[in-house]
Structure formats: C-alpha cells, structure tokens
C-alpha cells in the first residue's frame, strides 16, 4: 500500500539580505520551510523508516544579486527544519540549483537512492506554493523524476501576472518536450537548458524559440 509520503522535496523560493548583510529566506521560502515542518510533525512515523528523506534544494545564484548571498537556500531551509527538531540525519541538501528545473534534476540522484530503499512505496511531497506547483513544477517534476508526487502547498499568493506567466511557461515546456518520455531526465534537462540559452542569446522569449 502506498503511504501518503515518506519523502519531501522542499523547493527554494528565493533569498534576501538584511540591512546587516545577513542572508535570509524570502517569505515564500520561509513558508515552504514551515510547511515542511508541519508535514513532518503531522506524521513523524512515516519518516521513521529506511528511505525516508526531506531534500532541501536551492542554491545562492539569483542574477546580479548572487554575490550578496553568503548561504544557499538549501542551507537555510535545512537550518530552519533542524531548529524545529527535525532530525539532521533525515535531511539532505542540494545547493547547486537556481531554478525549478534544476531543483528536480539535481535532486534526482538523492531521490533515486531513497526511493529504491522504500521499494517505491511512497508519494513524493513537493513543498511549494500551489500557484508554483500547478502547473509548472508538477509538469517538470514528473518529466524529470517520473514518480508519484503531490503538492504540500505552502502559504503565499501570486498576482495575476505571475499566474499567467506560470501557465505560459508550462505551455512552452509542453511544446519543447513533446515526444519525450517522462523519466528521460537527461533529454528533458538538455532540451530545456538549450532552449533557454538560445532565448537569452537572441534576447527572445522562450515561446519565440519554441515556435
């Protein structure tokens, strides 16, 4: 029988800097950390088994602000979880990703190992805001990982423009990845990255490159 979840993937949602120069989580990131804590504390027994894991994912690169950050999203997410008495041995960090695609891609090896230990008997709980999960993060996660997943929605709203952007990007990704099987993560990753590089070189939206 599939349990609700013994695995969670907490997606970084951005970093900020205090007036004293300290790196902190943005409100969206903090809300995701707090939602992960709620998930663990609502059913600690589910995480007390071989293969259980909470992966905190996110680097420190955010455009021109990258040099200002002294810690990664993953580090600060993990610190928040451990401060709430979640066992350190349950937490894994992935500190190289800088977008939703790489959150999933860079976490895949950790999740592969843990999922084998669970014999596939778990649903991955993706911790992020609902407007981020549906539809974009869900689609990219399924294409990269090809395992059952669900959203543990963190508080946080997006304005209409951001919601439209999320839907638009997902539509573009469906076009870019047409014909690729879920789980073919190298092809998925390379196709999206290549299209993004071309878009930046010619200073065009992803949709123009895809067309």
At 172-206, the pLDDT tens digits run 899 999 999 999 999 999 999 888 766 676 665 65
- The DSSP symbol for 44 reads G
Instruction: Report the half-sphere exposure of 191 (CA within 13 A, side-chain side).
Output: 19
Tell me how far apart the alpha carbons of residues 11 and 159 are, in angstroms, rounded to a whole number: 20
pLDDT digits (tens, 9 = 90+) for 34-47: 999 999 999 999 99
Sketch the domain layout of the chain as residue ranges: 3-157
Domain range 3-157, CATH class: alpha beta
Question: Taking residues 135-164, what's their average pLDDT?
Answer: 94
**3-class secondary-structure state, position 178:** coil
Mean pLDDT of the chain: 89
Percent of the chain at pLDDT > 70 equals 88
Look at residues 6, 9, 3, 5 and name the one whose alpha carbon lies nearest to residue 110: 9
Q: How many of the other CB atoms lie within 10 Å of CB of 193?
A: 14
In the prediction, which pLDDT does 206 show?
59
Average pLDDT over every residue of 75-88: 98
Residues 151 and 129: their CA atoms lie apart, in Å, by 8
What is the pLDDT, as a whole number, of residue 195? Answer: 84
Higher-confidence position of 63 and 89? 89
Kindly tell me if the per-residue pLDDT of 64 is higher than 60: no
Nearest of 196, 183, 107 to residue 148 by alpha carbon: 183
CA atoms within 13 A on the CB side of 45: 2
Quote the pLDDT of residue 65.
52
Arithmetic mean of pLDDT, 133-154: 95
Average pLDDT of span 8-24: 92
d(CA 177, CA 187): 9
Confidence at 149, pLDDT banded by 50, 70, 90? very high
Helix axes 185-202, 138-145, angle to 10 degrees: 130
Q: Is the pLDDT of residue 209 over 60?
A: no
Which segments of the chain are extended strands (E)? 3-11, 15-17, 23-25, 53-57, 91-94, 122-129, 149-154
Cβ distance 15 to 69 under 8 Å?
yes
Tokens of residue 148, six digits? 């059952």
Q: Is the pLDDT of residue 98 over 50?
A: yes
The closest of 189, 196, 5, 12 to 94, measured between CA atoms, is 12
Flag whether pLDDT at 53 surpasses 80. yes
Q: Model's pTM, two decimal places?
A: 0.91
């Amino acid at each position: 029988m599939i349990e609700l979840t013994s695995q969670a993937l907490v997606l970084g949602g951005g970093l900020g800097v205090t007036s004293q120069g300290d790196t902190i989580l943005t409100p969206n990131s903090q809300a995701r950390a707090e939602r992960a804590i709620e998930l663990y504390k609502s059913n600690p027994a589910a995480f007390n088994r071989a293969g259980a894991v909470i992966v905190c994912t996110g680097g420190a690169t955010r455009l021109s602000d990258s040099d200002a950050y002294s810690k990664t999203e993953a580090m600060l997410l993990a610190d928040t979880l451990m401060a709430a008495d979640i066992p350190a041995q349950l937490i894994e960090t992935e500190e190289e990703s800088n977008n939703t695609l790489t959150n999933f891609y860079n976490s895949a090896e950790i999740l592969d190992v843990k999922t084998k230990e669970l014999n596939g008997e778990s649903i991955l709980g993706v911790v992020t805001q609902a407007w981020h999960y549906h539809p974009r993060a869900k689609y990219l996660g399924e294409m990269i990982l090809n395992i059952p997943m669900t959203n543990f929605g963190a508080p946080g709203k997006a304005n209409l423009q951001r919601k439209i952007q999320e839907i638009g990007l997902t539509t573009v990704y469906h076009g870019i990845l047409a014909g690729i099987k879920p789980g073919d993560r190298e092809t998925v990753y390379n196709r999206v990255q290549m299209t993004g590089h071309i878009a930046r070189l010619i200073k065009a939206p992803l949709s123009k490159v895809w067309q």
